[in-house]
């Protein structure tokens, strides 16, 4: 039961960090270009890759 709660906390924290990074990337795209373009698609892809990576790093913190 405790491991399950720990896993849920890791997932929640990792998700939050990942989406803040994604949001910053989207904001940077609009600030630099003034429009949404390929950079935005790359930021979305980065967000998909970032979540498992951040989850791994946060999990290591709790071990």
The yes-or-no verdict on residue 30 having pLDDT over 70 is yes
Number of domains the chain contains: 1
CA distances from 44 to 1, 23, 26, 59, 61 (A): 34, 9, 8, 23, 26
Question: What pLDDT score does 36 carry?
Answer: 67
What SS3 class is residue 63? Answer: coil
Query: Is a pLDDT exceeding 70 seen at residue 1?
Result: no
- The DSSP letter of residue 13 is H
Which residue's entry shows tokens 């970032």?
Answer: 50
Per-residue model confidence (pLDDT) at position 37: 66
Structure tokens at 32: 């630099």
Q: What is the pTM of this model?
A: 0.54
Q: List the domain range (segments joined by +) for residue 25.
A: 2-62
């Amino acid at each position: 039961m405790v491991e399950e709660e720990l896993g849920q906390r890791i997932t929640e924290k990792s998700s939050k960090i990942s989406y803040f990074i994604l949001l910053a990337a989207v904001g940077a795209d609009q600030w630099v270009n003034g429009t949404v373009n390929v950079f935005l698609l790359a930021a979305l892809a980065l967000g998909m890759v970032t979540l498992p990576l951040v989850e791994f790093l946060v999990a290591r913190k709790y071990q």
